[in-house]
Copies of this chain bind each other. A is one copy, B any other.
Amino acid sequence: MLSKRAKYAIKALLYLHQNEGAAPVSAKAIADREKIPYKFLENILRELRQHRILKSERGAEGGYRLLKSPESIKVSDIIRIVDGPIALIPCVSENFYEKCVECLDEKTCRIRRLFGEVRQAMLPVLDKSIAELR
């Protein structure tokens, strides 16, 4: 399951993409329009900024903007930042690999193979950028 955190992050980025302009967009505006708890959203936006997905401007009239181009922000990247691995089991994760404690032989593990396939099936979809979502 995707966490609400990740879902809110994607929503916020979509909103930001859709409302790009001269002025940055405040967390409050996003929270109101997307019905995301304000303080929770603040935390999420901060994390996205720290990972250089967006940038912020402080003070009155401040807010957030996309740092990268919307075409280069992949949903999979956001999920990895906020939730961690895409793969359903750690031993087939590219970015968060971990060996199964109880695994006798990774090479022949049928569960590993299956969930490797699952990952391969999911990735092309999740690798879409926020600009591509329709």
**Which A residues are closer than 8 A to B by beta carbons?**
1-2, 7, 10-11, 14, 34-36, 75, 85, 88-90, 101-102, 104, 110-111, 113-115, 117-118, 121-122, 124-126, 128, 133-134
Copies of this chain assembled into the complex:
2
B110 touches A118 (CB 8 A): no
21 A-B contacts (beta carbon < 8 Å) = A1-B89, A2-B88, A2-B115, A10-B111, A14-B110, A34-B102, A35-B101, A35-B102, A35-B104, A75-B114, A110-B133, A111-B133, A113-B133, A113-B134, A114-B125, A114-B128, A114-B133, A117-B125, A118-B125, A121-B121, A121-B124
Q: How far is the CA of A114 from the CA of B129 in the complex (A)?
A: 11
B36 and A102 contact, CB distance less than 8 A: yes
- Measured in the bound complex, the distance between the Cα atoms of B122 and A121 in whole Å is 6
A26 to chain B, nearest CB (A): 18
Assuming A11-B111, A34-B102, A122-B122, what are 8 further A-B pairs, CB within 8 angstroms? A1-B85, A1-B90, A2-B89, A14-B110, A114-B125, A114-B133, A118-B126, A121-B122
